[in-house]
Amino acid sequence: MNNGKTFFEKYYLLLIYLCFLFADCYLLFTGTYGYRIYAKPALVPLLLLWFMSNTAFNLRSSPQTLTSRLLIYFILLCTLSADIFGLFADKFVWTACLFLYSFTYLLYFFLAFSIQINTPEEKYFFIYVKKALPIFLIVLSIAIGFIIGVLDLNFSFANFWFYLNAFFIAILGAMVANLWGVNQLKNIRILLTLGVVFIIITNFVYSVDELIYHRRHRILDVVVACSNGLSQIFILLGVIKFIRYKRG
C-alpha cells in the first residue's frame, strides 16, 4: 500500500520518467535525433514499472480488474514498439509506427469499456446516448473537417489511415464520455477524459507538424512529445484509481 509513504516514495518512478521525457524533448528541440535512442525507449518501461508498483506489486488481484491490467500491459507493449519504430527513417517502419499508435487508441476504447462494465457489482453495459453520441459526432466531424480542410487530404486509400485514426479517436472519446453516466467513476472519468484530450492535441499538432510544416518547427515536436506523455500518464492514473476503487 501507499499509506505512510512520502511523495517521493510514491512517485519516484514517475519523476524519473519525467526526467527522461524532458531529455527526449531537449533532444527534439536541439535536433540531435540520433541520441534519442538513449531516452525514448526508456519512457514506456518506466511507465510500466510505475504502474506495476501501484498495482501488481502491492495490491491483491481482482477478477474485475484483470482485463484492465492486461490491456494496459498490451497497450504499453504496442506503444513501446511504436516508439522504437518511430526512431527509424525507413518509410515502411514509420508507417508501422503510426498504425500501432492508432491501434492503441482502439485498445484504450476497450479499456474504458472494461472499466464501465466492471464497475457495478452485477456486470452490465449501458449506453448513455445523450453523453456518448454528441461527443462521437463532434470529434469525428472536427477531425474529418481538419483532414479535408486543413491537411487537404481527400478520402482515398492512400489517406485511409488518417480517417481510420480519426474514427478510433472519436469512438474512444464517445466511450469515455459514456463513463460520465456512471456516478461511481467520478474521479476516474476526469483522468481518462484528460487523457483523451491530450490524445486529440497530440494528433492535431503532429498532423500540422508533419504534413504542413514538414517538421521545420522543432517546438511542435516538443509539444507532441509532451502531450503524448501526458495522455499516457492521465490514463494510467485513471486505471490505477479504478483498480484501487475495486479493491475497496
Which residues, other chains included, contact 232 with Cβ-Cβ below 8 Å and sequence gap of 6+? 47, 79, 195
pLDDT for res 124: 78
pTM of the model: 0.92
**Where are the chain's structural domains?**
62-247
Q: For a pLDDT cut of 90, what percent of the chain falls above it?
A: 70
pLDDT for res 31: 92
DSSP line for the chain: --TT--HHHHHHHHHHHHHHHHHHHHHHHHT-GGGGGGTHHHHHHHHHHHHHHTTTTTS---HHHHHHHHHHHHHHHHHHHHHHHTT---HHHHHHHHHHHHHHHHHHHHHHHHHHHTSSSS------HHHHHHHHHHHHHHHHHIIIIIS---SSGGGHHHHHHHHHHHHHHHHHHHGGG-GGGHHHHHHHHHHHHHHHHHHHHHHIIIIISTT--HHHHHHHHHHHHHHHHHHHHHHHHHHHHHH-
d(CA 10, CA 154): 48
Given a cut of 70, is residue 220 above it in pLDDT? yes
Cell output for 217:
518547427
pLDDT for res 1: 45
153 contacts 159 by C-beta, under 8 angstroms: yes
pLDDT for res 65: 86
Within 10 A of 85 (CB to CB), how many other CB atoms are there?
Answer: 19
Taking residues 4-14, report their average pLDDT.
80
The pLDDT tens digits for 35-75 are 999 999 999 999 999 999 888 755 556 777 888 999 999 99
Phi, psi (deg, nearest 5) at residue 90: -60, 130
